[in-house]
Amino acid sequence: MIQYFPFVAGALSVVALSRLGSQRWMPLMTQPALRHLYMSALQQLAETRIRPSATLFNSLLTAASRDGDPFQCELWFRRMVWSKVAPDVTSFTSVISAFARAGDPDHSEKWFRKMQLRGLEPTVATLNALLDVCAKRGRLPPAEWWFEFMEDSMLQPDRVSFCAMLNCCAKKQDTSRAEMWFLKMQNYRIAADLIAYNAFIAAYAAQGNLDKAERLLLMACAKRLQPDLVTYNSLLHACARASGHQDD
């Protein structure tokens, strides 16, 4: 009997977690040792009559997504379907986000289409994941298309949405579009945080425009934002590029 105790304890924990609110069990899923226990218990529970809830599966999908492991996400998604638990928009968003973190736009969009085929409506978090993968690859036209899709879907872009657009502009070294997106962010009455300023500064730094980069730094400081390593690295990059232009 002793040899079965770990499984029984794990199984009871899974059942208990499935009945708790997400705010209480999500912190546990961020701990690898505990997550491994629940994953092992779930695999054994699949062979019993006990069916885990969608809430618990979503917590495991979210944890795998945060780990940047899209293939683990896919495995849990399949396990969810095999367990006859209907995936919801949170389930799909976790898989989309996992592929976005891995810098894979094709699979992110593939899973988005799968979600649409199920008749599920995206959330801001879903579309932010697609904006994020565009930013990683510097795919500005697709990013702008997804942003427009967000607006057409009557969803309110948030700070994460605009930071993704600014990062995309920085990747493309497109300062004119960065200016436009920074202004649009203000029009939405969303206060720019340090991440937004860093992306904006990076766009000018890539062009060697030290004056504009420094002005943006002063603007950030005026907003009582504390520059970080990313900020100063961008300014150093701007100095190097500006020096190179002068030598030419």
pLDDT tens track for 135-159 = 999 999 999 999 999 999 999 999 9
- The pTM of this model reads 0.79
Question: Where does residue 208 fall: left (phi above 0), alpha (psi -120 to 50 degrees), or beta otherwise?
Answer: left
What was the pLDDT predicted at 43? 57
Give the pLDDT score at 77. Answer: 94
Q: Which of 126, 131, 182, 130 is nearest to 155 (CA)?
A: 126
CA 56 – CA 80 distance, rounded (Å): 10
Q: What are phi and psi of 138, to 5 degrees?
A: 70, 35
Which residues in the chain come in under a pLDDT of 70?
1-51, 244-248
Q: Which residues of 27-52 are buried (b: 16+ CB within 10 A; e: fewer)?
A: ebbeeeebbebbbebbeebeeeebeb
Give the separation between CA 166 and CA 213, rounded to whole angstroms: 14
Q: For 111-132, write each residue's pLDDT tens digit.
A: 999 999 999 999 999 999 999 9
Q: Tokens standing for 207?
A: 């062009």
pLDDT at site 3: 40
Do residues 59 and 88 lie in contact, with contact meaning Cβ atoms separated by under 8 Å? no
Per-residue model confidence (pLDDT) at position 195: 95
CA distance 91 to 75: 12
- The C-alpha atoms of residue 148 and residue 181 are separated, in whole angstroms, by 12
